[in-house]
Structure 1
Amino acid sequence: MTLPSHETDGVDPRPLHARIAADLREEIMSGGLAAGAKLPSTAQLKTRFDASNATIQKAVQLLKDESLAVGRAGAAVTVRENRQRTVRPAGSLNPAAAGATYPWLAEAAEGRSAARSALLSVGEVHVTGDVATALGLPGGGSAVRRRQLISIDGEPAELVDSYYPPEIARGTALAEPRLIRGGSPTLLADLGFPPRRSADRISARIATQEQYTALRLPGELPVLRTLRTVYSDGDRTVEVTVMVKAGHLYELQYEFAPE
């Protein structure tokens, strides 16, 4: 079989405006273009990429649609403030103090923005795939699912599905359609299943229709999907959570020490 030429000669087959946006997006996400900084002028970008005015404008519009840049006709376009957020998963199992914001919500907001969690649904569902395997149900089975949408500054930021073994969740607040005071770590501990450790599996994927709509994603950008398994005493699985967030707006930070 003969492969298409673009698969063998190293040529990027995307339209020029998409390639330009990709290069500028990388500069924004890596800090080469800092928050509040001006994007290079149209003239500079035309020279750099050997592109027309129209092509440059299409590329910049993509960045605006992705909430990475702001500006209006006739004014300089700048990198939007506080767009890429750093999430540190290590603190996700900490319980919330009385009356305080859940630690993972405060983490998402980085202390600068308003973060809210909307509970979309609660109920017992059939699970398959990696969620079922993580719950110890490789052939599939049922679990209590709590679905939430996290918003920051009024914009959807993360779609969260948390699954619990029915024998743990039935008859508790985990199975009720209301937010849990102190969060699930507090309740699990009260139920006799204190979270002891968690394991994350992270992948970049193209959004499903449901994820695309819930997160109001622009274009075909990837999402970050985290599959988190929480273990209690005896390595018993007590919670499996799937978290999906826009890949171009977040980075995950982990810290390691030698054993």
Structure 2
Amino acid sequence: MDNFRATPLPAYQRIAAALRDRITSGELAGGERLPTEQELTEEWGVARQTVRNGIAVLVSEGLVVARRPLGHFVRQRENMLYRPQGESRDQPASPEMDRFCQQITEEGRKPSQTIDVSLIHAPPDIAQRLQVDPGTVVVARRRVRYINGEPVNINDSHFPFHLVKDSEIMSPADVARGTNQALADLGYPQDRAIDEIFTRMPTPEQIRRLGLGPGTPVAVHYVTGYIADGTPVRCTVNVLPSDQHVIVFERKFERTWS
């Protein structure tokens, strides 16, 4: 307590720092409830509003979530390994499971997803990558993926309408063999892809779809697929909350040294 009062920070920041230390050290584990406002008020000898301000700092950092009327809880973190190179992996043996489902099931967790298909006017980022004019009608397959019922990432794929308008890509159901193979079967096998990864704060729509807490940045992974003549036929946008993902790259070296 003496160290607490001696620190030249506002009291609410000192409370936030002390609770943060308890969380990062594991003293307060994921899913555990924080002491009540009354308990913290008595512990530190401050006003209740000061305690609330300190907890609000941790909420904004994504360390703590409010579950009214139960109180505040340490955010449970179950990181998902995200492999950008995973698109080249073989499909799972079970046709009802996509790559994501296979990965999560092998980890002993329950995967699920929602799929929505619609025609949209291409926003500038998609139009640029598909090499069409902004506002051009394209097909959007929008997915939110879940682990144990909690949303973990967004996977939205966009296609030129004239390429896929009569295909199963237009159906809001899982494509067992994958949309890449479906494109190939339509006569548009992808020859290469360009990956771009950005880190930034999420848009309001992404916050809504993923149920993100305040102060949670995201990684945005664009994958643009091209056929052999250089025509883009697909642009997928993956949105990954930073507190739920570990991005893992695997590379194989060609020996060029002696």
TM exceeding 0.5: yes
What is the CA RMSD across the aligned residues, in angstroms?
A: 3.9
CA–CA separation in structure 2 for the residues paired with 1:17 and 1:127: 47
TM-score (norm 2): 0.70
How far off its partner does 1:109 sit?
Answer: 5.7
Q: What secondary structure sits across from 2:63 in the alignment? A: helix
Match of 1:20 in 2: 17
Tell me if structure 2 keeps the 8 A contact 1:38–1:79: no
Aligned length: 225
Q: What secondary structure sits across from 1:65 in the alignment? A: strand
Q: What secondary structure sits across from 1:137 in the alignment? A: coil
How far off its partner does 1:140 sit?
Answer: 4.7
Letter of the structure 2 residue corresponding to residue 20 of structure 1: A
Spell out, residue by residue over 1:36-81, the C-alpha distance to the aligned partner (whole angstroms, 9 max, x if none).
x434999xxx9xxx997937655666523199xxx989xxx8784x
Match of 1:230 in 2: 225
For the pair shown, the structure with the greater C-alpha radius of gyration is 2
TM-score (norm 1): 0.70
Match of 1:102 in 2: 98
Match of 1:129 in 2: 124
Spell out, residue by residue over 1:55-113, the C-alpha distance to the aligned partner (whole angstroms, 9 max, x if none).
7655666523199xxx989xxx8784x62222112112433434251113333566221
Match of 2:140 in 1: 145
* Structure 2, gaps ≥5 residues long: 1-8
Tell me if structure 1 keeps the 8 A contact 2:63–2:75: no
Letter of the structure 1 residue corresponding to residue 93 of structure 2: A
- Decide which moves more: 179-188 or 107-116: 107-116
Identity of aligned residues (%): 24
Letter of the structure 2 residue corresponding to residue 164 of structure 1: F
User: Is 1:241 matched up with 2:224?
Assistant: no
Spell out structure 1 runs of 4+ moving beyond 6 A. Answer: 50-53
CA–CA separation in structure 2 for the residues paired with 1:222 and 1:86: 17
Match of 2:6 in 1: none
Name the CA shift for 1:104/1:17 in 2 (closer, same or farther; >3 Å).
Answer: farther
Letter of the structure 1 residue corresponding to residue 160 of structure 2: P
From 113, 129, 132, the counterpart of 1:117: 113
CA–CA separation in structure 2 for the residues paired with 1:203 and 1:243: 10
Letter of the structure 1 residue corresponding to residue 13 of structure 2: L
Name the CA shift for 1:101/1:178 in 2 (closer, same or farther; >3 Å).
Answer: closer
* Structure 1, gaps ≥5 residues long: 1-11
- Decide which moves more: 204-213 or 98-107: 98-107
Match of 1:85 in 2: 80
Q: What secondary structure sits across from 1:157 in the alignment? A: strand
CA–CA separation in structure 1 for the residues paired with 2:15 and 2:253: 42
How far off its partner does 1:172 sit?
Answer: 0.5
Spell out, residue by residue over 1:97-134, the C-alpha distance to the aligned partner (whole angstroms, 9 max, x if none).
34251113333566221111211x31221113221111
User: Is 1:181 matched up with 2:176?
Assistant: yes
CA–CA separation in structure 1 for the residues paired with 2:226 and 2:199: 24
Match of 1:65 in 2: 65
